[in-house]
Structure 1
Amino acid sequence: MQKSQRLIQMMMLINAKKAFTVQELADEFGLSTRTVTRDLQELSELGVPVYSVQGRGGGYRLLQERLLPPIAFTESEAVALFIAGQSLQYLGSVPFEEGTVSALHKFYHYLPADTKKQIDRLKDRVAVWSPHRKMSPDCLKVLMQAVMTRSAVTIEYDSRRGTEPRDIQPVGLYSSNGYWYCPAYCLQREEYRLFRADRIRSAGLNPSIPFRDEVDRRTLRNPPDNTGAETLSFTIELTPNGVRSLRSDQWFGKSINRREDGSGTATIRIAAENLAFYADLAWGLGADARITEPTEAIEYTKRKIDAMKSLYV
């Protein structure tokens, strides 16, 4: 086996083991402990984060940020990954922003010159637009880390009752229309809730909270049956233009009942605390959408109309 191949295989084995001794690697590769020690030194110089553990039962350990072995990409794969990564910049915040910037920088640096030119031509010409809504990337990181490490989280959350602490076990994390959402099991309410990440003021992993396997079995494709204690029926009347605007919407799209003339209605169940969010969404459609229920949403919209009129008196 060539030395380069051996180092790659050793890197992969180290990533899998996390903790190991020189003798274990020597037995695995059929090498002397002296050769393995030299290989580890070389891997360390290449950036593999291994460090020695002194004392009885010592050996080597891998730092939390492990390096992946080299991966070969075709030119089309490289372009696809670069554009996908770049498109994330249009989101107000992402839970892995630093990693994305760093990865794209490394990726771009090692591309052939002609491929770099092709990618440079695509900059600001190909994008996945998303409304820019600012929120805490630190809270997003904690929520994502909780999903990855099977942990619960203590948050400070803004609700209609003000800012209050909540202990939650996240089911997942997703972005829609520029907002990040976290469906989670709330231990205070003893039920599933849908949390808006921009309303989370602080978040921290809480290892003292027992992890619930039944919650962990839920995913974004297998969502909880209920995500709020108090729900309302929200209905809007749509013109043909309104139908066209909402037919691809995540919340209303599948609920639209279309008429022969192209107009239609849409009815969904919403959490009462998110009433203003959905009313504002209908407001954005102007005269192409009219809320017919609930009464609270109609009154909310009337107040917005009155406030708007007062600006043009």
Structure 2
Amino acid sequence: MKKTERINDMLIFLNNKRYFNLKDLMVRYDISKSTALRDIQSLEEIGVPIYSELGRNGSYKIIENSVLSPIYFSVDEMYALYFSILTLNGYKTKPFNIESIALENKFKHVLPDNVRKNIAIMERTLSFEVTNHSNFSPFLKEILQGIFAERVYHLTYLKKDVEKALIAQFIRIESKFGQWYAKIFNFETNNVQIIRCDKILSIVETSNTKPKNLEELLNYLATFHRKPDAIDFIVIVNQRGKDIFDKENYPSMRIQKENEHYIITGYFNKQEVDLSRTIF
């Protein structure tokens, strides 16, 4: 591993650590003591707040810092990050307090001139399809924070133009088919359901219901959709079928290549028979 790659990896390795020993670096990167000492000096030079503690084991402490240490990216990584940022332009609302144009300009500002010039050419010659999310979903950030904090909400939302109310805990938000969707645990039905985020009218935190552990809810998502009467299937398709699968499929389906064909496996519930006929 080259020194620049090693230093970059060290930044990530030490990111959440408060203490480390010289031997930690020597073992992880298979380097000598003198090389490890030079690497620590390089980390200090780029702003990592390290100081050594007395002792024979070469102990070091990293001072808590609210500013992230710099991370170095290759040119290809810079290109990938830039075009990842561009995908945000298709979202009318995002679960973060950012304006994608401002983020794009900020990122461009720190790029080397030659990389900026190449990106300008790429913008005219390389195109990524981005699904347009035109509906406004004002509660995305609050929903995401509620997931982190395992909060329970009293929420109201529209379903077929009828206002509904329920007590729920958000588990996951997903972007699919040009919409934001939320998977929630409904405490009234004691089950998971999916609602569109742009249909949510209000969410108010409530302390009257004990929240569930997020990890348990995430594990439950893997099986909540499958009913006891679900029907397993195996379908063999050609390249055209594989292309159709790539454009639209469901979490209950998997595809793998087998010689010149592709095998789709999965299941559908009995009430989804008509839907399965449409797909296949």
Q: Same fold (TM over 0.5)?
A: yes
Range into which the TM-score falls when normalised by the shorter chain: 0.5 to 0.7
Could you say which residue in structure 2 is the equivalent of 1:246? 244
> Is the 1:192–1:224 Cα contact (8 Å) retained in structure 2?
no
Q: 1:271 to 1:174 in 2, by over 3 A?
A: farther
Q: Which runs of 5+ in 2 are unaligned?
A: 1-40, 51-61, 256-260
Could you say which residue in structure 2 is the equivalent of 1:310? none
Q: Which has the higher Rg, Structure 1 or Structure 2?
A: 1
| Alpha-carbon distance in structure 1 between the residues aligned to 2:191 and 2:45 | 52
TM-score (ref. length: structure 1): 0.53
> Is the 2:170–2:184 Cα contact (8 Å) retained in structure 1?
yes
Sequence identity, in percent?
12
Question: Cα distance, 1:161 vs. partner?
Answer: 7.8
- CA deviation profile, 1:15-41 (whole Å, cap 9, x unmatched): 3xxxxxxxxxxxxxxxxxxxxxxxxxx
| Alpha-carbon distance in structure 2 between the residues aligned to 1:9 and 1:99 | 31
Q: 1:227 to 1:156 in 2, by over 3 A?
A: farther
Question: Cα distance, 1:232 vs. partner?
Answer: 9.2
Could you say which residue in structure 2 is the equivalent of 1:226? 224
Counting matched residue pairs gives 223
Q: 1:93 to 1:127 in 2, by over 3 A?
A: farther
Mapping of 1:278-293 within 5 angstroms? Answer: 290=278
Find 1:13's aligned residue among 48, 53, 64.
Answer: 64
| Alpha-carbon distance in structure 2 between the residues aligned to 1:71 and 1:183 | 36
Could you say which residue in structure 2 is the equivalent of 1:46? none
| Alpha-carbon distance in structure 2 between the residues aligned to 1:158 and 1:6 | 52
Could you say which residue in structure 1 is the equivalent of 2:23? none
Question: Cα distance, 1:155 vs. partner?
Answer: 2.6
Q: 1:5 to 1:239 in 2, by over 3 A?
A: closer
| Alpha-carbon distance in structure 1 between the residues aligned to 2:226 and 2:152 | 19
User: Which residue identity does 2:136 align to in structure 1?
Assistant: S
- CA deviation profile, 1:142-164 (whole Å, cap 9, x unmatched): 22121223222333222258221
> Is the 2:167–2:186 Cα contact (8 Å) retained in structure 1?
yes
| Alpha-carbon distance in structure 1 between the residues aligned to 2:95 and 2:269 | 26
Mapping of 1:101-140 within 5 angstroms? Answer: 101-123=101-123, 125-140=125-140
User: Which residue identity does 2:245 align to in structure 1?
Assistant: R
User: Which residue identity does 2:113 align to in structure 1?
Assistant: A
Mapping of 1:246-285 within 5 angstroms? Answer: 246-248=244-246, 249-251=248-250, 254=253, 269=268
Q: 1:227 to 1:135 in 2, by over 3 A?
A: farther
Q: 1:175 to 1:127 in 2, by over 3 A?
A: farther
User: Which residue identity does 2:162 align to in structure 1?
Assistant: G
User: Which residue identity does 1:169 align to in structure 2?
Assistant: Q
